[in-house]
Amino acid sequence: MGTLFFKELSLSMRTARFFVALSILTLAFLVSGIVGSASYHSLREEYARRHATEEQRLLDRMGGLNRVAFYHQQLLLPPAGYSYIRDLSDTRIPDLIAANVVRHRDMTRVRRGNSFIPSDQPFSWHFLLAVVGGFVAILLSYDAIAGERRDGTLTLICSNSVARWKLITAKFLALTAVNTVLILLGIVLAMTILHFGLVPVISADALITIAAFLLAAVLYMAFFSALGLLVSAATRLPSLALTVLLFIWAALALIAPSASRIAAGASVQLQTPAERDRIVRQELNRIMSEGDRTRPEVDGSTVVNYERIPFSPIEQHVANYSLDIHEAERRFQNEYDLQLFRQAQFGLALARLSPVSMLDETVAALTDTGIARLRRFLASAERYRAEMGAAVRSLDARDPSSPHVYFADIFTTIWISQLPVDDASQIPRYAFTERDLAERLAAAAGPAGALVLITLVVYVLAVVIFIRVDVRHR
Amino acid sequence: MTGILVRKTFASHLTTLRFLVGAAVTSLLFVAVAVVQLSDYDARLQSAGEFEARQQDFLDGITAWSMVRTVLVMPPSETAFMAKGITSSEPNLMYISAGRPASLLEMQYYNASNPLLDFLPDADVTQVAALLISLLAIILTYDLISGARERGMLRMLMATGMGRNSILLGLALGSAATLLLTVVLSIGCVLALLALARSVPILRILPQLSMLTGEILIYGFVFIAVGLLCSCLSSRSNISLLISLLIWLVLVIVLPAMSRQVVTKLDPLPSTESLEVTERGLDQQFQEELVSFFRSDHPQDGYYGWNTGNIFDLSLANVHYVVRSPYDSFIDFRRELRGRFEPLRVELVDRIQSQHIEFENRMLNQADLVELVGSVSPAAVLKKLCTIAAGTDRATLRRFLSYGRRLRQSYIDFQRSKDYRSLDWTTDQHRNREKLNLAGMPPTLRQRWDCWDALAHSLPGAAVLIVQLAVLLVACAVVFSRYDVR
């Protein structure tokens, strides 16, 4: 078994294919290193700039508590630390929530870059691995068995009283070793470039993350090697094996996510904007008519004068149920966000059938760039709003002339204290907590396990088919 | 003789499993991505329709000519399934009013469909074609020369007395016919899907579809030439396959991703920060004008801290100043401001807008450069051509922007035609319920796709592809003329 393994290894290292694969991966990781370090810095700079602008805007409003409280602050999702491993900057995935103490708006997206250039796949390691890695693994394995059969060497080896499962295992392990060497070389090259591009890749956190990525990469390529052996054992011609493999790869990479999108869209229904509008309006009308019903009787004009403080009984009454209105709005908003998440998560769960999506999930968990990050973003924005509300309320309580009414209308921002905020640190600032390494590794373990499982299944199938195959040279 | 070879090549391709697998997977993927994009289009269409209805309601409900403002949304493209183009990450909404610049930088983004589904990568027909049609072309052709030599067929072919060039031509044309069949089959599947889905009328988009088909075909032919060239470069079919796959990877995956990165690195856009600084300066100037007006005319400053969010009835929205108002009531304050500061405000916004337009032009230059660098790769050229065919190229965005600017100008003209300065602002004269006159504006943004225009825009890209094809074919002929057929 050991001899077989080393024979296979040294054989495959000397083929033209190996050098082609080597040059492909070297080129790809070289490019990814350059692109990755550039985008790493530009993403961070842009975030820092926006963050500073937002801080300045908040400081500018410290002249009045009401102006701080009802200003729609832009809460920004910071770029993930490992953007060179997995990059989502070119998608429509939201990274901005505008919120004040009583309401928040739809999640949206910071616009960046040049809108005249259609967005494209980012050249991150994950993209390279999913596309080029799978491609290379197929390229190295497609004629492992079909080629030997064509050349007639398979008959010779099998007559050598070597168990067939040992033969195919040796081939599989040799391929995996070659894949590991190739991807390791690529990663080291990219890391060197990133290091000189002043991206921190030498910290313990980064090294462990990269090592885990390497492991995921080897697993992913092992799947395609096993698939290559399977198809190679099942077909007579190497060229046919290659064609079949390349198209299976394309189907796994493209059809699985598309099909899951369709299925998710069809099975988890979203409210349309009009429906949403109607439901929200209905509820608000209910609250308001409830308010009208209990409205106090006042003589004379019913015109509300928002400038008069203290309020008339009517105004006081409107103010009293204003919080109900905001509460209802927020409830609908949260419900809609949940629907969005449910739909996307349903699609992601379906897509897990494809190993390409399994890899995607593993790397997303490892770099914390998946849907979980977005969920935490939404939850932390909600928490922040509560914190901010508490801080504003405690400051507001100190102003005896304030009516203490939280109603975010353009004319009614004077319904709480207008005193300046003396100490800017009294107002809490939004901060997103990144996941630490242990959490990320734990999250990645699940999908990585699924990848191991499916690789084993394909490998066992390959062994079974190879044992039953007719090795005679024709 | 060549005709026979063409027919023979075609027939032998059709019976190979690689053709069958390739054609089946390509058709399947075309349909799959088209389904995704069409459902996305339906969602976008619905949202855009709702926005348009709201806009119409808004305009119909205008009770005062001084209140004209609207929201303009980019209509979704019914042919976005062919190529998503700018719709993949666009800003798609613009507020139009006198007090707001109509420009790309001011445009916003609304979620027409669930943005979180972008965690699942989606493709369009162009992307699938760029990936698979080229792959199929290479897989069909890589062993036409070297494989035939290995089997000894090449010598037999030479023995028939055919010239080398005609052999090459025959093989190329036979493969081209196979590819044509695959493309037509795949597009046919998409047509069948469209007929079933019914959300897009087939007849209307037939010109776009046929343009797309033609572009994909030329692109496929380029890769047939690549495959043939690689086949001539080596005496063994395995080696020619490897070379051609390497070239495929560089041309289809590496180079298109590179061109954008290289250009944005070498020719970066200036930060919008400088624009923001200028804007703040202009705003400051405006605010000072306001303050000095109150100081000179009304020395008895009352202290009213107004967040003047919407003070201007002339829709000069987004003015957030705290002005010390000497007026007894907010209403009087607004009346006074309206007449005096409208021209100043509009001029200010005009200046900001022209700055933004400059920035847009800068972006356009960068986009041009990306395209120029990308034209090394046939895949990048194909993507550009297909966005033109699908009406999702940047010309669409430009058209939208210029429409928005014209609309804003017409609002301003309309308001100014009312001669607001001579109005008595203490009355409600401006609430005269007059209908907005938008003569000269197209009633809707939805324009018919202009076939000739699209063809004219596609010419440079198509020319690049054809030149690439010609160069590759000539190279093939040169290399093959020295090929050792033994």
State the Cα–Cα distance between residues A409 and A102, nearest whole angstrom. Answer: 11
Determine the Cα–Cα distance for residues B444 and A405; give it in Å rounded to an integer: 44
Higher pLDDT, B382 or A303: B382
| Tens digit of each residue's pLDDT (9 = 90 or more) over B304-320 | 333 333 333 333 333 33
Residue A299 within a domain:
no
pLDDT of res. A266? 81
**Option in A120, A343, A347 nearest B257 (CB):** A120
pLDDT tens by residue, A218-236:
999 999 999 999 998 888 7
pLDDT at residue A35 greater than cutoff 90: no
The chain-wide mean pLDDT, for chain B, equals 79
pLDDT band at B481 (very low <50, low <70, confident <90, very high): confident
Confidence of residue B462 (pLDDT cuts 50, 70, 90): very high
Chain B residues with CB-CB distance to A123 below 8 A: 257-258, 261
pLDDT at B300 over 60: no
Q: Which residues of B touch A16 (CB under 8 A)?
A: 238-239, 242
Percent of chain A with pLDDT over 70: 92
pLDDT at B85: 85
Instruction: Write out chain A residues lying below 8 Å of B33, CB-based.
Output: 254, 258
Please say if the pLDDT value at position A270 is more than 80.
yes
- The model's pLDDT over B49-59, given as tens digits with 9 standing for 90+, comes to 877 777 777 66
What's the CA gap between B227 and B239, in Å, rounded? Answer: 12
Nearest-angstrom CA–CA distance, B142 and A36: 34
Considering only the beta carbons, identify the residue of B117, B269, B310 that sits closest to A114.
Answer: B269
In chain A, residues with a C-beta closer than 8 Å to the C-beta of B244 are none
Indicate if the pLDDT at residue B301 is higher than 50: no
User: A247 — contact with chain B (CB < 8 Å)?
Assistant: yes
Handedness of CA B401, B403, B408, B409 (dihedral sign): positive
Give the gap in angstroms from C-alpha A1 to the nearest C-alpha of chain B.
29
Contact A66, A414 (CB under 8 A): yes
- A159 to chain B, closest Cα gap in Å: 27
In a domain, A51, yes or no: yes
pLDDT in tens, A125-163: 998 888 888 888 988 888 888 878 777 777 777 777 778
Does A24 have pLDDT greater than 80? yes
What is residue A88's predicted lDDT score, i.e. its pLDDT? 82
pLDDT of res. B303? 30
Nearest CB among B17, B123, B264 relative to A254 is that of: B123
In a domain, A387, yes or no: yes
Q: Which residue of B119, B140, B248, B369 is the best one to mutate when testing the A interface, meaning the one whose CB has the most A CBs within 10 A?
A: B119
> What's the confidence (pLDDT) of residue A474?
56
Which residues 73-112 of A are in CB contact (within 8 Å) with B?
88, 90-94, 106-109, 111
- All residues of chain A having their beta carbon less than 8 Å from the beta carbon of residue B264 are 113-114
Q: Does A198 touch chain B (CB under 8 A)?
A: no
Range in A284-293, A310-319, B350-359 the model is least confident about: A310-319
Judged by CB atoms closer than 8 Å, whether chains meet at B238 and A16 is answered as yes
Please, what's the b/e burial string for A389-416 (b: 16 or more CB within 10 A of its CB; e: otherwise)?
bebbeebbeeeeebbebbbbeeebbbbb
pLDDT digits (tens, 9 = 90+) for A406-416: 765 544 455 67
Is there a domain that residue A168 lies in? yes
pLDDT (average), residues B443-460: 76
Residue A78 neighbours by CB distance under 10 Å? 16
Question: Worst-scoring range by mean pLDDT, A311-320, B24-33, B157-166?
Answer: A311-320
CB contact under 8 A, A118 and B364: no
- Chain A residues near residue B310 by CB distance under 8 angstroms: 410
Residue B438: per-residue pLDDT: 56
Distance from CA of B17 to the nearest CA of A (A): 7
Residues of A in contact with B243 (CB under 8 A): 20
Query: Which residues of chain A have a CB within 8 Å of the CB of B43?
Result: 265
Chain A hits for B330, Cβ within 8 Å: 307, 411
Question: Which of A255-259, A440-444, B357-361 is least confident?
Answer: A255-259
What pTM was estimated for this model as a whole?
Answer: 0.85
Asked whether residue A300 is domain-assigned, the answer is no
Q: Do A64 and B33 touch (CB under 8 A)?
A: no
Are residues A115 and B89, on separate chains, in Cβ contact within 8 Å?
yes
**CB-based contact (8 Å) between A344 and chain B?**
yes
Q: Residue A274: which domain range? A: 1-112+119-294+305-474
Residues 6+ apart with CB under 8 A from A443: A365, A366, A368, A372, A435
CB contact under 8 A, B245 and A93: no
Among the partner-chain residues B22, B246, B305, the one whose CB lies closest to the CB of A64 is B305
Q: pLDDT tens digits for A85-132?
A: 998 877 888 889 988 888 777 788 887 778 888 777 778 899 888 888
The more confidently predicted of residues B150 and A459 is A459
Q: Is A186 on the interface with B (CB under 8 A)?
A: no
Flag if B122 and A93 touch (Cβ within 8 Å). no
- Of A11-20, B286-295, B414-423, highest mean pLDDT: A11-20
Task: Please give the average per-residue pLDDT across B76-102, as a whole number.
Answer: 83
Chain B CB within 8 Å of residue A308 CB? no
CA distances (Å), origin A352, targets A217, A357, A361, A449: 17, 5, 8, 12
**Interface confidence (ipTM) of the complex:** 0.85
Q: How many domains does chain A have?
A: 1
Q: For an interface test with A, which of B27, B87, B114 has the most A Cβ atoms less than 10 Å from its Cβ?
A: B114
A242 touches chain B (CB under 8 A): yes
Domain positions in chain B: 1-486
Say if CB B430 and CB B418 are below 8 A apart: yes
Tell me the nearest-neighbour CA distance from B399 into chain A, angstroms: 12
CB contact (8 A) between residue A262 and residue B245: no
> pLDDT tens across A372-400, in order?
999 999 999 999 999 999 999 899 888 88
pLDDT one-digit tens code per residue, B388-437: 998 888 888 888 898 889 888 887 887 777 665 555 545 555 554 455 55
pLDDT for B419: 61
